[in-house]
A and B are shown apart, each in its own frame.
Chain A
Amino acid sequence: MANTFFQQVGYFWSAALIAASPTRLVVVALATILGIIVGAIPGLTATMALALLINITYTMELGSAVAFLLGVYVGAVMGGSYSAVMINIPGTPSSAATALDGFPLARRGEGGRAIATAVISSFFGSTFSIILLMFTTPFIYKIALRFGQWEYFLLAVFGIMICGNLSTDSTPIKGWIVGFLGFFTAMIGMDPVYAYPRYTFGSSNLMAGISLIPALIGVFGISEILSVLKEKVPYKIEGNIGKILPNKDIMKQIGHTCIRSGLIGAGIGAVPGAGEDIASWVSYDVAKRHNKHPETFGKGSYEGVASSETANNACVGGAMIPLLTLAVPGSPPSAMFLAAIWLHGIKPGPMLGFEHPDFLYLTSLTLFTATFFMLIFGLALVKPMVALLKINRKILMPIIVPLTVIGAYAGNVNVFDIYVMFVFGILGYILRQQHYSMAPLVLGIILGPSADIGFRQALMQGQGSIVPLLGRPVGIILSVVILFTIITGIRNSRRPVIIPEAEAAKE
C-alpha cells in the first residue's frame, strides 16, 4: 500500500517536472490565450478551436502537444463568455446559458464584472474537476481492468445511447441515428479481424478507412462556417463595461453556486459525449430552482452567470475521466484531444496506468496550469477582448476554410482526407438543420471499432451464445442501464423536448 503511494508520488513528481518546465509553461500560456481568443469569437467553438489547431501539434513532442491542446481547450470554453456577455451571442454553445444573465448585466453597465465572474467561476469549476480527475481516475482504472469484450461492446452502445439521449434538443432517436451512423462510418475500410474490405467500393483511399480528424474537422468546422455565414446577423456591442473585479458581495453570492455547479459539471463531463453545453444548461436550471430569488435569473443574476460558467469548465476535467480510463471522450472537444494523443502514440484505456503511469498527472497538472493562466489572462484581457469582438465575421469565416483544409490534409498528407472533410462538413450541415446533434456521430466513429470487435469476439468466445454475459456483473449493469436509457429515450421521443431558452440564446 505504502509502496504504491510512494510510486504514485514519484509519477506525480516526474509529471510535475515536465509540466512546469519553462517551454511547457510558455506553450500553455500561449495556447490558453489563443483558446480564449478563438472561443470568444462567435461561431468558433472549443471543438472547432481544437480541430483547427490540432495540426500545429503534429510536429510537437508529446508534452508540448498535450500542453497546447489543453490550454486551447480550457481557454476556449471560458472564452465563449465574453461574447455571451457583451453581444448576447455565445462564443461557444456552452456559454449560451451565460448570455441569459450576462447580457442584461452588460446592459446595466456591469459587463466587466459579469465577465470577471465568468472567469473566476470557470477557474473554480476547472480546478474542482481537476482534483476529481486526479483522485477518481486510479479507481476507475482498476474497474476498467476487469472489462472484457462484452463490457467494451456494451460501453460503446451505452455511450451512443446516453449521448443520443442527452445531446439533442429534439427527440433522442435523432441522437441514436447519428451515433449509429458514426458506427457505420467506422466500419468503412478493412475489417480489423480478417482484413476484408467493407464498403470501400474498390477505392484504395477508402481501404484505409475514414480518418477521424478530417471527419471531425468537417462536422464541426465546415458545417459551422456554413451555419454562421448563411445568416446576416449584425450585432451591437455594449460600449461601457464598468468595473472589472467583482466585489465581496458578488463573491459571497456565487460561492454556493460554484460548488454545486462544479459537481454537476464534472459529473456531466464524465458521461460519454454529453459535453459542456448540457452541463451549463442543467447547472443553470438547478441553480435557478434552488435560488431564493429565482425571478432574478434571466434579468442579470451573477449566480446565473456563475452556474453556467462553473459547470462548462468543470466539464473539461470531468470529460478526461472516461477518456483516460476507457478511451471514451466525455465531450466533443475531448474527442479531438483523444485523436491528437493517439497520433502521439498514447493509447488511453485501463492499460494507460501501466504503460504511461505519469500521463494522468501530466494531464491534470497541465490542465491546472492552463486553468491558472486562464484566470490571469481572462481577467487581464477583458478590454482587448471586447475590442476584438468587433471583428467582421464575413472576413474571418472564409479565412478559416484554408485552415480546415490544412488540418485535414496534414495528418496523413493525403488530399483524399480533404474530400472526406468536405463531405462530412456538408453532411453535418444538413443534419444540423434537421436538429441532429453532432456529438453522437463523433462518439460513434471513435467507439465503432471497439463495438464491432468486442461484439464479434464476445460471441465467438461464447460460441454464438449471449449466456456468458449473465456471469459478468459489470456487463449486466451496463445492459440494464442501456435498456433503461432506451425506454426513457423512446418515452421522451413521444413528447419532443425543445429548450426554448437555448434556442432563444442561440438566436
Chain B
Amino acid sequence: MSDKNKTAAGDFIMGVILDVFGVYLIISSLQMKIFKSFFDGPGFFPLILGIIFIVLGIMMTVTGVKTGGVTALQLSLKIEKIKAYFKNDEVIRVFILSGLMIVYIFGLVGKIDFTLATFLYLTATMFYLRSTKWWAILIISALAAILTSLVFKYAFKIPLP
C-alpha cells in the first residue's frame, strides 16, 4: 500500500476514533458532579473537548473518505495484506524492540537490581540488532549498565528505580 493510501486509511480510522472518544467525553462529563454551577464544574471542560473532538473527528473522517481511505482500509484488511504487514522488516523490528522495552520496563525495572536489569536489556537488544561482535556486546552492556548506575547514583545523587 502506498504512503498516500496508508495516510488516507489512517485519517479515516483516526476520525472514527475521535468521534467515539468525543461521545465518551461528553457522556462522562455529564455524569460528573455539579458543585455551584455546571460552568465551573469539573465536567464543563471535558464536555467542550468532547464537542471539539467530534467536530475534528468528522473533519478527519470526511478527509479520509474523500482521499480514498475507506477503499484503502478495506484493501489493508485483506488477509494477504495483513500477513504482508507483519512480515515487513521494519514492523517486525518495531514490535520486537517495543517488546524488549516492555520486558525491561514492566518486568525488570523495580523488581530486580537496576544495574542487572539494564545489563539484561542492553545485551538482549544489542544481540537482536546485531550491533557488534558477541563479546563486545557483553562488555559494552556491562560497562554501560554499571557506569549509568554509578554516575547517576553517586555523582548526581539521583535515586534509581
Q: Which of A19-27, A37-45, A302-310, A406-414 contacts B (4 or more CB under 8 A)?
A: A406-414
Is the C-beta of B33 less than 8 angstroms from some C-beta in chain A? yes
Which residues between 57 and 71 of chain A lie within 8 Å of chain B, taking CB atoms?
Answer: 58-59
Contact B44 A456 (CB under 8 A): yes
Is the C-beta of A415 less than 8 angstroms from some C-beta in chain B? yes
Contact B94 A226 (CB under 8 A): yes
Is the C-beta of A217 less than 8 angstroms from some C-beta in chain B? no
Q: Which residue of B lies closest to A395 (CB)?
A: B131
- What B residues does A413 contact at CB under 8 A? 159
Partner of A410, one of B32, B44, B145, B158: B158
Interface size class of B (residues with CB under 8 A): 35 or more
Q: Are A415 and B132 also in contact (CB < 8 A) when A59-B157, A173-B60, A395-B140 are?
A: no
Contact B56 A176 (CB under 8 A): yes
Q: Which residue of A lies closest to B93 (CB)?
A: A230
Is the C-beta of A452 less than 8 angstroms from some C-beta in chain B? yes
Contact A193 B59 (CB under 8 A): no
Contact with B along A343-385 (1 / 0, CB 8 A): 0000000000000000000000000000000000000000000
Contact B46 A226 (CB under 8 A): no
- What A residues does B80 contact at CB under 8 A? none
Is the C-beta of B112 less than 8 angstroms from some C-beta in chain A? no
- What B residues does A415 contact at CB under 8 A? 109-110, 161
- What A residues does B121 contact at CB under 8 A? 398, 401-402
- What B residues does A215 contact at CB under 8 A? none
Contact with A along B1-39 (1 / 0, CB 8 A): 000000100110010001000000100100011011101
Contact A398 B131 (CB under 8 A): yes
Q: Are A406 and B131 also in contact (CB < 8 A) when A401-B101, A434-B14 are?
A: no
Contact A395 B45 (CB under 8 A): no
CB distance from A23 to the nearest CB of B (A): 16
- What B residues does A55 contact at CB under 8 A? 152, 156, 158
Q: Count residues of A near B (Cβ-Cβ below 8 Å).
A: 57
CB distance from B148 to the nearest CB of A (A): 5
Contact A398 B129 (CB under 8 A): yes
Contact B129 A399 (CB under 8 A): no
- What B residues does A199 contact at CB under 8 A? 28, 46
Q: Which residue of B lies closest to A183 (CB)?
A: B49
Contact B125 A452 (CB under 8 A): no
Contact A455 B132 (CB under 8 A): no
Contact with B along A224-248 (1 / 0, CB 8 A): 0110011110000000000000000
Q: Are A399 and B144 also in contact (CB < 8 A) when A394-B126, A415-B109, A452-B45 are?
A: yes
Contact A405 B105 (CB under 8 A): yes
- What B residues does A222 contact at CB under 8 A? 101
Contact B7 A187 (CB under 8 A): no
- What B residues does A170 contact at CB under 8 A? 7
**A415 CA to B112 CA, complexed, in Å:** 13
- What B residues does A434 contact at CB under 8 A? 7, 10-11, 14
**A54 CA to B152 CA, complexed, in Å:** 12
Q: Which residue of A lies closest to B151 (CB)?
A: A56
A-B contact pairs, 12 of them (CB 8 A): A170-B7, A183-B45, A196-B42, A222-B101, A395-B126, A401-B104, A406-B152, A410-B152, A410-B158, A429-B94, A459-B44, A464-B39
- Using a CB–CB distance below 8 Å, which chain B residues touch chain A? 7, 10-11, 14, 18, 25, 28, 32-33, 35-37, 39-42, 44-46, 48-49, 52-53, 56, 59-60, 63, 89-90, 93-94, 97-98, 101-102, 104-106, 109-110, 114, 118, 121-122, 125-126, 129-132, 140, 144-145, 148, 152, 156-161
